[in-house]
Chain A
Amino acid sequence: MVEFSPEVVDSIIRIASFIAAGTALIAGVGPGIGMGYAAGKATTAVRRQPEARGVIITTMLLGQIISGSTGIYSLVIAIFLVFSV
């Protein structure tokens, strides 16, 4: 059993939380794909029915907000990990 001094333990915790913060941001991939897909579909819809532009954009934004939430969760977790150690 190896005994570490408190400074070493502290820096290990620091390193671990920085790595964890970086890893948490992998979650940004999913919302990016989802929001891009919604925007692409909305573009098609606007081309098909240009007069319904306002409704389409509102619906697209709402859907993107919901799918973007997971990305924001990971960002908030990463911020807490970086700044709380």
Chain B
Amino acid sequence: MNPGPKVIFHLFGQELLPVTDTLIVGWASVIIILILAKFLTVSLKLRPEGRQNIAEFMVELIYDQIEPMLPGEGWDFLPFIATIFIFIGVGNLVGLIPGVTSPTGDLNTTLGLALVVFLVSQYHGMKEFGIGGYLKGFAEPVIFLLPINIIGELAKPISHSFRLFGNVVGGGIIMTLIYQAAPALIPVPLHAWFGFFVGLIQALIFGMVAIAYISVAKS
């Protein structure tokens, strides 16, 4: 019982380029998202009907999370935050299919996403204050706090990625233990909890924390 990603094959036969099951499922969920996005936005009309309602509901749900924290810039950050939100949401939900490993149950996926968020927040901080002004912000309110501020900044992507990874893997381990103890009926409501509810909440939380980091860097 090893919860880590399993290497399926090596790209071009190189030892340095392993292709894991989480990587394959991750790309599959990207393709699922592409097909869904295409399907939901066929023949857009000014007066929405049918599937266009679902697309508008999702866009507005994410927009309503961004707008209070980054006033006036909701539409600028919507593509980035919505990408994270939808990818993690779909990535958590495909883990419900038996035999499919969730791509977010791999530290490589979550750390990659968290590093992208980290770089984006640094970029916006520097854009807001200029590089010198932004770096000076680390030495405030007094210069002695400089190392603590830097460590606090570097801890952000670590805690950000470990949170999602820990939640998904922890749920998976509990499910595996329950399957060994009670294989019938009892796991069904727990799947609804660990797979469905925790998965969607974690996607929302990952996106919200990303918004919070960007808005902290900009203020």
Q: Which residues of A are interface residues toward B (Cβ below 8 A)?
A: 55, 58, 61-62, 65, 68-69, 72-73, 75-76, 79, 83
Contact = CB atoms under 8 A, between A and B. Distances in A.
A83 B166 contact: no
Contacts of A62: 208-209, 212
Contacts of B68: 55, 58
A68 B4 CA distance: 23
A58 B65 contact: yes
A62 B216 CA distance: 13
A72 B166 contact: yes
Contacts of A72: 159, 162-163, 166-167
Contact of A65 (B65, B163, B165, B173): B163
Contacts of A65: 163, 205, 208-209
Contacts of B65: 58
B118 to A, nearest CB: 15
Contacts of B133: none
24 contacts: A55-B68, A58-B68, A58-B208, A61-B205, A61-B208, A62-B209, A65-B163, A65-B208, A72-B162, A72-B163, A72-B166, A72-B167, A73-B159, A73-B162, A75-B170, A76-B162, A76-B165, A76-B166, A79-B3, A79-B169, A79-B170, A79-B173, A83-B3, A83-B4
Nearest to A71: B166
A58 B207 CA distance: 12
Given A61-B205, A75-B166, A76-B166, A69 B159 contact: yes
Contacts of A55: 68
A38 B159 CA distance: 20
A83 B2 contact: yes
A17 to B, nearest CB: 15
A73 B165 CA distance: 10
A72 B158 CA distance: 11
B153 to A, nearest CB: 15
A65 B160 CA distance: 10
Contacts of B166: 72-73, 75-76, 79
A-B residue pairs, 4 tightest by C-beta: A72-B166, A69-B159, A75-B166, A76-B166
A59 to B, nearest CB: 10
Contacts of B3: 79, 83
Contacts of B159: 69, 72-73
B89 to A, nearest CB: 16
Contacts of A61: 205, 208
